[in-house]
Amino acid sequence: MGIRHILKIDNLAEKEILKTKSVRVKQFDPGLQALVQDMLDTMREQGGVGLAAVQIGVLRRVLVIETPPIEEEQEDGTTVEVEPSKAYVMVNPEITEAGTDRFAMTEGCLSLPGWYGDVPRADWVSFKYQDQWGKLHRIKHADAHGYLVGRIVQHEIDHLDGILFTERIEDLSTLQDRRQKAKPRRVGLLRRRTAET
Ligand code: ZN
């Protein structure tokens, strides 16, 4: 178990790995179980909703997703949780069918920290995957109108094919750099950085 380093696009060697297509998993062995646990730990520690193995430098077709809980606003303005957060482990995931309508939502990525943009994706997908023990699962018509599994799985499968969300953005005016805002000011004052030339 452990927290692993997440590869970032602004490091050339790491970018090369992120742009590489991952290979199918054939062995459902203790090494895979350990990889999955590290991925879950790393995703949760970073507060992400999904992580592909390539993002920790492992070029195998494995991803984890943890959907945020779904809340519904009540008439009095308060919110009630209508569906809890759910975790998925997917090995060799494949989209088997996709809606022809597309729906754009703002996406971000742990490998491009601070960057956000509107990404159009299929408004639903059907897909299949194996769990970490090799058992086959199928999910039909998963909705992608929201940060739901039907949407996140499209972003994560793209990672397995070496595709980053910025390559899916059609309206580049939606691409935002929030890196400065995300950085705590205190850190900038205490630790003057000199390597940013
Ligand atoms: Zn990502």
Question: Consecutive 10-residue runs of the chain (197 residues): their mean pLDDT?
Answer: 92 98 98 98 95 98 93 88 92 98 96 95 98 98 94 98 96 88 43 39
How far is it, in rounded angstroms, from Cα 60 to Cα 92?
Answer: 8
DSSP 3-state of 45: helix
Put residue 196 in one of left, alpha, beta given phi > 0 → left and psi -120 to 50 → alpha: alpha
Predicted TM-score of the model (pTM): 0.87
Q: Which CATH superfamily is domain 12-192 in?
A: Peptide deformylase (3.90.45.10)
CA of 17 from ligand 1 middle (Å) equals: 13
How far is it, in rounded angstroms, from Cα 158 to Cα 138?
Answer: 19
pLDDT tens column, 53-82? 999 999 999 999 999 888 888 899 898 888
> Active-site residue among 156, 167, 170, 196?
156
CA of 152 from ligand 1 middle (Å) equals: 9
Where in the chain are the domains? 12-192
CA of 108 from ligand 1 middle (Å) equals: 7
How far is it, in rounded angstroms, from Cα 170 to Cα 55?
Answer: 24
**156 has catalytic annotation:** yes
CA of 12 from ligand 1 middle (Å) equals: 17
CA of 75 from ligand 1 middle (Å) equals: 35
pLDDT at res. 184: 44
* Cα 168 → chain centroid: 14
List CB contacts of 41: < 8 A, sequence separation 6 or more.
Answer: 1, 2, 3, 4
Q: CA-CA-CA-CA torsion for 31, 32, 34, 39, nearest 10 degrees?
A: 140
DSSP 3-state of 44: helix
The chain-wide mean pLDDT, for the chain, equals: 90
pLDDT at res. 196: 46
Q: Please measure the distance between the N-terminal and C-terminal CA atoms of the chain and give it in whole angstroms.
A: 37
